[in-house]
RNA sequence: GCCGGCGUAGCUCAGUUGGCAGAGCGGCGGUUUCGUAAACCGCAGGUCGGAGGUUCGAUCCCUCUCGCCGGCUCCA
């Protein structure tokens, strides 16, 4: 007998060898999968004891993974029917749906997706039961060999088990771990989305397969919502909004891929970001520094970059017989400043901050608007401190980071703590102290985090903070990393109370990541409609007829005197509706409308970007409102 | 880099089964002076991404090249 404790606290007992399906039937639950102590399990599997067992029905979000996995199999089955000779690779469920990788005998394009989807609908209508089949290893191998599934054979060779699980639906059978839904008829709401190349096992030295992406949901509304979400993401794409709002451009042919041109409006946003960033850094005890873009080969030799980071660096240039490299990182320069004199324990902590522009080689195919570029400015800083200061410093940085991100309108965070990998430098005691400091800082801030064991860099443990944007997409921004490598390599020291040299701790951190990437994320988060303090143009003055042009100019001057970024649209000949539409498309937060009545009374009619009409009011009142929103750096108008 | 798709006016896009290159928006000139998301008329604007080839003739077909978009393990 097996004792099973259900989520509602009740316990049930089941026969040894009984399946979850039989148990669910006995309890009258229309379950399609099971969650046993947090692990998704196939409903056909034999029962096992568990402390927290949930029988999942189709509409349970936690069953979605099984639903999508089954959808992937239906895709593979359809492709098999339509393209004899195709070989199957892998087809998992992913966070946004599922995919399946194929080796097609012929080339397949997007236009073929409709045909494949149609075949999938037939398979759903045919409603095959999905059976789990356990085969002895030899038989499994024989089956795959018969089918010519060379990729599956490779996967099989890596499975240690002697009994191999397959899933069968109709004429289709696939090597698969599961779990799956009980039948294909349950996959009602799905759509194929995309087609792309993907290396077998993600390895660029191996063959290129064709990957078909799709998604599936239990409810039609959820699928529709997902498709709407995708459309919205497309609409907010910073690569579309950037040129549209005249924020930036990238001239691949004229200048080079991955190199960003900041137009006046984008540069204004950047300036406001930098201004705020510097103000806060000074307040937090950082010292601002500037360092060059080039450094001699021996610098990069000593830092180890030439040994470990060469593929990310550009070829050296020759200057009077000396090799120079353009910098991929700022650290060696910061360290060089530290080393210009003897440092006392009393001098620490030292916090050097720089908006440092670096250049890194990225393969052409991975470049992506502002999010992945070859030249970018890191909001970099290095904290050099004594062992007894580590904890306070880390807490300070984390708190500082969250404060800054909140000001930019991000409120949802998730952190990751990455610990010591197998290959590492430095002393284990240092690693432990550093890791503990990171952990305690996360707890002090009440930040939810997960631990990624062994995921730290070879030179130190780290915290990464992801934000989630207005479309619920996660972006990694802040990173706080210990470095036990460079202080050693550069022999950084401070003189302790004992008069002896000691090795300081060095913490490397970036809060926003890079200004380019952060700007791209901001554009998408706000859909180009920046909060007033960041908006390149904060207000626009619109004269209703040409007679109000002089008044509009006066109004604009008043706003300028109040320190606001304002445009007066005085070219004339445009209807109010036209001007409003224009201002709306440019996402200018405030529109000050001047007609004859307003000019007469020294008023303006205030319209917000949100479409809200606040009506006529004294000019001073409008200015007060706008200044208030700007100075408080609030996200609302 | 690799696989698939795509490059036509400043922008969004039509189009030609190989025969003088099209619209809307934007720009410019004029008319209109207008109350909360597009007034009206006219004009200019193109090496049809680039190079080579096939052809009487290429934006269209072929080859190469440059660039863009989607993607390149969330392990069966």
Q: Output the distance from A86 CA to B62 C1' rounded to whole Å.
A: 29
CA atoms of A37 and A49, how far apart (whole Å): 10
State pLDDT tens for residues A323-343: 999 999 999 999 999 999 999
Q: Is the CB atom of residue A591 positioned under 7 angstroms from any atom of strand B?
A: yes
Q: Output the distance from A98 CA to B62 C1' rounded to whole Å.
A: 38
pLDDT mean across residues, chain A:
90
User: Which nucleotide is closest to A549, CA to C1'?
Assistant: B33
Q: Is the CB atom of residue A598 positioned under 7 angstroms from any atom of strand B?
A: yes
State pLDDT tens for residues A267-305: 999 999 999 999 999 999 999 999 999 999 999 999 999
Locate all alpha helices (DSSP H) within A471-572, ordered by sequence: 486-489, 515-526, 549-561
Cβ-based contacts (< 7 Å) between A 334-373 and strand B: 363-369
Which residues, listed in sequence order, are joined to residue A5 by a DSSP beta bridge?
A11
User: Which nucleotide is closest to A597, CA to C1'?
Assistant: B35
A560 — pLDDT class (breaks 50, 70, 90): very high
The residue that leads in pLDDT, A27 or A626, is A626
Q: Is the CB atom of residue A576 positioned under 7 angstroms from any atom of strand B?
A: yes
Q: Which residues of A are catalytic?
A: 331, 360, 378, 380, 382, 462, 508
Q: What is the DSSP letter of A114?
A: H
Radius of gyration of chain A (CA): 30
- Tell me, what's the ipTM? 0.87
Cis preceding-peptide flag for A349 (omega within 30 of 0): yes
Q: Which two tokens stand for residue A168?
A: 């069968």
Q: What is the DSSP letter of A46?
A: B
User: Which nucleotide is closest to A613, CA to C1'?
Assistant: B36
**Across A187-202, average pLDDT:** 87
Q: Is A212 helix (H, G, I), strand (E, B) or coil?
A: strand
Which nucleotides of strand B lie within 7 A of protein CB?
A: 1-5, 11, 26, 30-39, 66-76
State pLDDT tens for residues A501-521: 999 999 999 999 999 999 999
Cβ(A20)–Cβ(A41) below 8 Å:
yes
Which residues, listed in sequence order, are joined to residue A43 by a DSSP beta bridge?
none
State pLDDT tens for residues A376-390: 999 999 999 999 999
CA-based nearest residue to A508, from A398, A395, A384, A420: A384
Map out the domains of chain A with their CATH numbers: 2-57 (3.10.20.30), 64-233 (3.30.980.10), 248-291+327-526 (3.30.930.10), 539-631 (3.40.50.800)
CA-based nearest residue to A509, from A542, A470, A463, A473: A463
Say what the pLDDT of residue A23 is. 80
CA atoms of A354 and A349, how far apart (whole Å): 16
Find all residues with CB under 8 Å of A535, minimum gap 6, and list them: A269, A565, A587, A588, A589
Q: Which two tokens stand for residue A495?
A: 């003189």
Cβ(A274)–Cβ(A515) below 8 Å:
yes
Q: How does strand A39-42 pair with strand A31-36? A: antiparallel
Which residues, listed in sequence order, are joined to residue A376 by a DSSP beta bridge?
A358
CA-based nearest residue to A620, from A555, A534, A544: A555
Q: Hey, what's the torsion of the CAs at A395, A401, A406, A407, to 10 degrees?
A: 120
CB atoms within 10 A of CB A508: 23
Q: How many percent of chain A have pLDDT more than 70?
A: 100
CA atoms of A635 and A534, how far apart (whole Å): 9
**Which of these ranges, A21-30, A130-139, A562-571, has the smallest mean pLDDT?**
A21-30
Cis preceding-peptide flag for A198 (omega within 30 of 0): no
Helix (H) or strand (E) holding A336: helix A331-338
């Amino acid at each position: 007998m097996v004792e099973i404790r259900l989520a509602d606290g009740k316990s049930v007992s089941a026969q040894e060898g009984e399946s979850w399906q039989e148990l669910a039937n006995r309890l009258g639950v229309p379950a399609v999968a099971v969650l046993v102590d947090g692990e998704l399990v196939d409903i056909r599997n034999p029962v096992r004891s568990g402390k927290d067992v949930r029988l999942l029905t189709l509409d349970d979000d936690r069953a979605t993974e099984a639903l999508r996995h089954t959808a992937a199999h239906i895709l593979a089955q359809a492709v098999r029917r339509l393209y004899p000779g195709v070989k199957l690779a892998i087809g998992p469920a992913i966070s946004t749906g599922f995919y399946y990788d194929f080796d097609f005998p012929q080339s397949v394009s997007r236009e073929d997706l409709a045909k494949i989807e149609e075949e999938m609908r037939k398979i759903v209508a045919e409603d095959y039961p999905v059976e789990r089949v356990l085969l002895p290893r030899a038989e499994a191998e024989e089956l795959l060999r018969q089918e010519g599934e060379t990729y599956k054979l490779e996967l099989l060779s890596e499975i240690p088990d002697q009994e191999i699980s397959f899933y069968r639906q109709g004429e289709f059978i696939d090597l698969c771990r599961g779990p799956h839904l009980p039948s294909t008829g349950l996959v009602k709401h799905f759509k194929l989305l995309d087609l792309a190349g993907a290396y077998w096992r993600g390895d660029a030295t191996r063959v290129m397969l064709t990957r078909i992406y799709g998604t599936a949901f239990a409810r039609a509304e959820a699928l529709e919502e997902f498709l709407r979400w995708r459309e919205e993401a497309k609409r907010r794409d910073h690569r579309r909004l950037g040129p549209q709002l005249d924020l930036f451009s990238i001239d691949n042919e004229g200048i080079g891929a991955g190199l960003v041109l900041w137009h006046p409006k984008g540069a204004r946003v950047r300036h406001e970001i930098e201004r705020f960033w510097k103000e806060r850094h000074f307040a937090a005890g950082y010292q601002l520094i500037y360092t060059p873009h080039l450094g001699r080969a021996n610098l990069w030799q000593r830092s180890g970059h030439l040994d470990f980071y060469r593929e990310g660096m550009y070829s050296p240039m020759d200057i009077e017989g000396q090799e120079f490299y353009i910098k991929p990182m700022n650290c060696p320069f910061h360290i060089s400043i530290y080393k210009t004199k003897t440092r006392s324990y009393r001098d620490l902590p030292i916090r050097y901050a720089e908006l440092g522009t670096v250049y890194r080689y990225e393969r052409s195919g991975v470049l992506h608007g502002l999010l992945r570029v070859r030249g970018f400015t890191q909001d970099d800083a290095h904290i050099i401190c004594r062992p007894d200061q580590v904890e306070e410093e880390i807490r300070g940085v984390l708190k500082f980071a969250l404060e800054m991100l909140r000001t930019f309108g991000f409120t949802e965070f998730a952190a990751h703590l990455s610990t010591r990998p197998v290959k590492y430098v430095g002393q284990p005691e240092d690693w432990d102290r550093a890791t503990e400091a990171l952990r305690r800082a996360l707890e002090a801030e009440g930040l939810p985090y997960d631990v990624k064991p062994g995921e730290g860099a070879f030179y130190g443990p780290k915290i990464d903070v992801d934000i989630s944007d207005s479309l619920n997409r996660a972006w990694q921004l802040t990173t706080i990393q210990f470095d036990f490598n460079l202080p050693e390599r550069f022999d950084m020291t401070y003189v302790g109370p004992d008069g002896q040299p000691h090795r300081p701790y060095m913490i490397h951190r970036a809060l926003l990541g890079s200004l380019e990437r952060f700007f791209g994320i901001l554009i998408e988060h706000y859909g180009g409609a920046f909060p007033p303090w960041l908006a390149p143009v904060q207000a626009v003055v619109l004269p209703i007829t040409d007679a109000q042009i002089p008044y509009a100019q006066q109004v604009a001057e008043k706003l300028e005197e109040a320190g606001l970024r304002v445009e007066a649209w005085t070219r004339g000949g445009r209807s109010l509706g036209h001007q409003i539409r224009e201002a709306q498309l440019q996402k200018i937060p405030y529109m000050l409308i001047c007609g004859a009545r307003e000019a007469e009374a020294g008023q303006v009619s205030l319209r917000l970007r949100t479409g809200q009409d606040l009506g006529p009011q004294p000019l001073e009142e409008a200015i007060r409102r706008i200044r208030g929103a700007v100075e408080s750096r609030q996200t609302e108008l």
